[in-house]
């Protein structure tokens, strides 16, 4: 097994779904097969930005032939996570050594390869750069209720607040950590939706600047959904509850679909035109693949 870079364009001619499947020609088969069971980094151009960027990370689960196109294959991906910032491939002198000549110029032959193998140190450096930004609005964590023996006067032992140790962990361990992934997903969704519920327009901020809006997975992780921004949407608590229970869904045009199982009219809570407000850039919007899954498997039409 070995880690790798997968080149991806938002408007690619290939049958890609970010974080789920990567479509590629036979010429890259041997490299992709080496990455099965290991991690890859997404790389490529980003709309409205000059340059090339590393933008996310995923794990290669398997490779299968494309039944509809000769000499083409699919890499099935899992554990996808968007970076909290785009990482320019050339920053700090570049992350992939083979991409640059000794004089600092770009090695064109290597740069044109859609699949490139990485050393462990290169992979770790890219991941650490892409997941480096702290959350501006971390969720409040209330301390646990004290045990009766911990009340003043009832215990001889001084009470020490619990502090999570700030220790460095291996990159891969961190990538598989569910609380870490949830926090990054929430951070990304709140940022691109400007802390605003997509279905109601509510933007509730508490006294310390923490948003009340929640990051909802369209296809839940426990049902095979990824932590891709395109599998997420910002929703207020009540709307999130209804969305998860199939009482609300979205069309591919982002029209809001109320279920006939609703026993009360919720239209006064939603945008008057019954359309969700989603990011302007296509690659940040909910993907039709996930919306269709929600309508087919969750929505109570």
Res 163: pLDDT: 36
- Residue 192 to residue 279: CA distance in whole angstroms: 7
Are 213 and 284 in a shared domain?
Answer: yes
Are 47 and 122 in a shared domain?
Answer: yes
Confidence tier at 141 by pLDDT (50, 70, 90): low
Q: How many CB atoms lie within 10 A of CB 185?
A: 23
pLDDT reading at 168 higher than 70? no
Q: Are 230 and 193 in contact (CB under 8 A)?
A: no
Angstrom CA distances, 166 to 85, 163, 169, stand at 22, 9, 9
Q: What is the DSSP string of 68-118?
A: TSTTEEEEEEEEEEEEEEEEETTGGG-S-GGGB-TTS-B-HHHHT-SEEEE
In a domain, 9, yes or no: yes
Domain finish residue from 91, 106, 130: 130
In a domain, 285, yes or no: yes
Are 184 and 273 in a shared domain?
Answer: yes
Q: Are 31 and 115 in contact (CB under 8 A)?
A: yes
In a domain, 115, yes or no: yes
Are 119 and 183 in a shared domain?
Answer: no
- Residue 214 to residue 237: CA distance in whole angstroms: 7
Secondary structure (3-state) at 36: strand
- Residue 34 to residue 36: CA distance in whole angstroms: 6
In a domain, 143, yes or no: no
Give the mean model confidence (pLDDT) for residues 152-160.
40
Are 126 and 44 in a shared domain?
Answer: yes
Give the count of domains, the chain.
2
Confidence tier at 144 by pLDDT (50, 70, 90): low
Domain finish residue from 130, 153, 169: 130
- Per residue in 246-274, pLDDT tens? 999 999 999 999 999 988 888 889 999 99
Domain finish residue from 95, 130, 165: 130
**108: domain range?**
3-130
Bridge partners (DSSP) listed for residue 63: 75
- CATH number, domain at 85? 3.10.590.10
Are 125 and 198 in a shared domain?
Answer: no
Secondary structure (3-state) at 161: coil
Angstrom CA distances, 134 to 187, 238, 266, stand at 9, 27, 36
In a domain, 57, yes or no: yes
- Residue 301 to residue 295: CA distance in whole angstroms: 8
In a domain, 278, yes or no: yes
Give the mean model confidence (pLDDT) for residues 232-252.
96
Confidence tier at 174 by pLDDT (50, 70, 90): confident
Lowest mean pLDDT among 49-58, 65-74, 261-270, 275-284: 261-270
Residue 152, both tokens: 């003043």
**Alpha-carbon dihedral angle through residues 49, 18, 241, 256, given to the nearest 10 degrees:** 70
In a domain, 232, yes or no: yes
Question: Which residue is listed with tokens 């991906």?
Answer: 77
Question: SS in 3 state form for 214-282?
Answer: EEEECCCHHHCCCECHHHEEEECHHHHHHHHCCCEEECCCCEEEECCCCCCCCHHHCCCCCECCCCCCH
Residue 120, both tokens: 């462990």
In a domain, 106, yes or no: yes
Are 107 and 188 in a shared domain?
Answer: no
């Amino acid at each position: 097994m070995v880690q790798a870079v997968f080149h991806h364009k938002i408007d690619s001619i290939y049958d890609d779904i970010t974080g789920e499947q990567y479509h590629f020609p036979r010429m890259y088969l041997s490299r992709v097969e080496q990455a099965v069971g290991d991690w890859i980094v997404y790389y490529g151009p980003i709309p409205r930005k000059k340059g090339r960027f590393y933008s996310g990370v995923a794990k290669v689960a398997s490779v299968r032939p494309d039944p509809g196109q000769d000499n083409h294959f699919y890499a099935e991906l899992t554990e996808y996570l968007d970076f909290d910032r785009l990482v320019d491939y050339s920053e700090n002198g570049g992350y992939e050594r083979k991409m640059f000549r000794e004089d600092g110029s770009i090695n064109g032959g290597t740069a044109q390869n859609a699949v490139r193998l990485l050393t462990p140190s290169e992979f770790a450096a890219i991941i650490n750069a892409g997941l480096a930004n702290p959350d501006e609005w971390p969720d409040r964590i209330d301390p646990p209720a004290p045990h009766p023996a911990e009340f003043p006067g009832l215990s001889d032992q001084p009470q020490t607040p619990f502090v999570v140790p700030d220790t460095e962990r291996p990159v891969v361990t961190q990538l598989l950590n569910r609380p870490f992934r949830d926090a990054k997903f929430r951070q990304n969704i709140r940022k691109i939706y400007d802390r605003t519920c997509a279905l109601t327009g509510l933007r509730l901020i508490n006294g310390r600047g923490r948003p009340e809006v929640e990051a909802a997975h369209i296809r839940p992780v426990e049902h095979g959904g990824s932590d891709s921004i395109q599998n997420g949407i910002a929703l207020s608590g009540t709307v999130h509850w209804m969305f998860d229970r199939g009482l609300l869904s979205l069309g591919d045009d982002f029209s809001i679909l109320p279920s006939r199982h609703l026993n009360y009219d919720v239209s006064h809570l939603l945008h008057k035109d019954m359309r969700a407000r989603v990011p302007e850039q296509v690659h940040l919007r909910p993907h039709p693949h996930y919306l269709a899954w929600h309508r087919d498997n969750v929505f109570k039409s």
